[in-house]
Amino acid sequence: MGRLFGTDGVRGLANGDLLTPELALSVAVAAARVLIESDRSHQPLAIVGRDPRASGEMLEGAVVAGLTSAGANVVRVGVLPTPAVAYLVGQAQADLGVMLSASHNPMPDNGIKLFAPGGQKLPDELEARIEAAIEDGHGLVGRPTGAGVGRVHDLLDGAEHYVKHLVAATPHSLAGVKVVVDCANGAASDVGPAAYEQAGAEVVAIHADPDGLNINDNCGSTHMEALREAVIREGADLGLAHDGDADRCLAVTSTGEFVDGDQIMAILALAMREAGTLTDDTLVATVMSNLGLRLAMKQAGIRLLETKVGDRYVLEELTAGNLALGGEQSGHIVMPAYATTGDGVLTGLHLMATMASTGKSLADLAAVLHKLPQVLINVPVKDREAGAQAPAVQAAVALAENELGETGRVLLRPSGTEPLVRVMVEAATQEQARTVAERVADEVRAASPA
């Protein structure tokens, strides 16, 4: 078996070749067994949640069966955002959290995300132990019987606990702010609008009617055109877009300009520095963040630390330095004082609180960052590593970097969740960025045709 866990758990076509109920059961059994081996002092407790996609019902059954068959007790929390599940893991002092979601992916996909005690993302070492347990069939022997079998309970008010936590974490009343929120027909369809309203905002919710099939369907953070139109139509101060599991947040200004995660991080970093809550005047971002963010933070006297792509790596850096803010261009923003993972609704609350406390529009706040032209090409490949590491590809990258000099950069990254190689180029002009990116992408396609 190859590497099972990607940058954010296991993800694939639900009930397809990889992400089957059998695999979900095996992952659950192995995770429970690894936890039991690590600490035999008590019977493990697991929190299990999911987003609304139809296949989550099937996979939830398999995960619950696997956990209980290995001797873990289970609390099902139903449809909730990923950060809500992480929060409840910490609140319940659970040993494990399982979130069934494929985040921003189309409805047919699904995924298994695991959380360690405290609601933290699983470290690589623990993921490797779980993969090894699956591969050697360790989870299929020595099953408990009788009173040793785990029990299942349902938590009916998990959403209320989570919303109360979010509102308490909002630093300023949102009174006077009108927002349109695109819930992506996903896990935030109830808790997102509820949290914004309880914090004082006037809320117009769109794509907040999940039916199991319409999650991320031409809506949410990957399809923001409808949000832009709604903001202008409603005369709102801003729009917020979440993805299917609500761990990311992107925005739209009152005039319809898109605001990405880099701009949101810049806004929050400056606000937190002003409030004295930006530890060591440091922001953590990934290598995918725009060069403009680095330049803006340097000018503001804020240090920027870089990590690999994935909010888990951002969180590791935040934890290691006891830092207060980090995130990704895609809208995963992590604020460890309030959350153990990226939380889109929390991000939206703090963004609007900054608007309310300063009296500035989102456009004015976002103007602190001048983004360099950036082109991202997702190249379908048969072999991600071959597509990225082939000598001809590396030669093309070296040539491009020499051409761009200090006015741009090239980033080549195999996707952690899809059969893609991501080619990202920043340059002084959009035309130059596009030309260079297409040239490198052509070499990737030739090295590993899909």
218: left (phi over 0), alpha (psi -120 to 50) or beta: left
Q: For residue 17, say whether it is annotated as part of any ligand binding site.
A: no
Task: Write down the residue that tokens 């999650």 correspond to.
Answer: 215
List Cβ neighbours of 259 (8 Å cut-off, separation of 6 or more).
250, 251, 252, 253, 362, 366
3-state helix/strand/coil string of the chain: CCCCCECCEEEEEECCCCECHHHHHHHHHHHHHHHHHHCCCCCCEEEEEECCCCHHHHHHHHHHHHHHHCCCEEEEEEECCHHHHHHHHHHCCCCEEEEECCCCCCCCEEEEEEECHHHCECCHHHHHHHHHHHHCCHHHCCCCCHHHCCCEEECCCHHHHHHHHHHHCCCCCCCCCEEEEECCCCCCCCHHHHHHHHCCCEEEEECCCCCCCCCCCCCHHHCCHHHHHHHHHHCCCEEEEECCCCCCEEEEECCCCEECHHHHHHHHHHHHHHHCCCHHHEEEEECCCCHHHHHHHHHHCCEEEEECCCHHHHHHHHHHHCCCCEECCCCCEECCCCCCCCCHHHHHHHHHHHHHHHCCCHHHHHCCCCCCCEEEEEEECCCHHHHHHCHHHHHHHHHHHHHHHHHCEEEEEECCCCCEEEEEEECCCHHHHHHHHHHHHHHHHHHCCC
- In whole angstroms, how large is the CA radius of gyration of the chain? 22
Task: Write down the residue that tokens 């956990």 correspond to.
Answer: 67
Q: For residue 245, say whether it is annotated as part of any ligand binding site.
A: yes
Q: For residue 243, say whether it is annotated as part of any ligand binding site.
A: yes
Q: For residue 51, say whether it is annotated as part of any ligand binding site.
A: no
Please confirm, yes or no, whether 103 is among the known catalytic residues: yes
Tokens of 386: 């071959």
- In the chain, how long is the greatest CA-to-CA distance? 69
Distance, in Å, from the CA atom of 132 to the CA atom of 129, rounded to the nearest integer, reads 5
Active-site pick, 101, 103, 289, 415: 103
Give me the active site residues, please: 103
Bind-site residues for Mg(2+):
103, 243, 245, 247
The annotated binding site is made up of: 103, 243, 245, 247
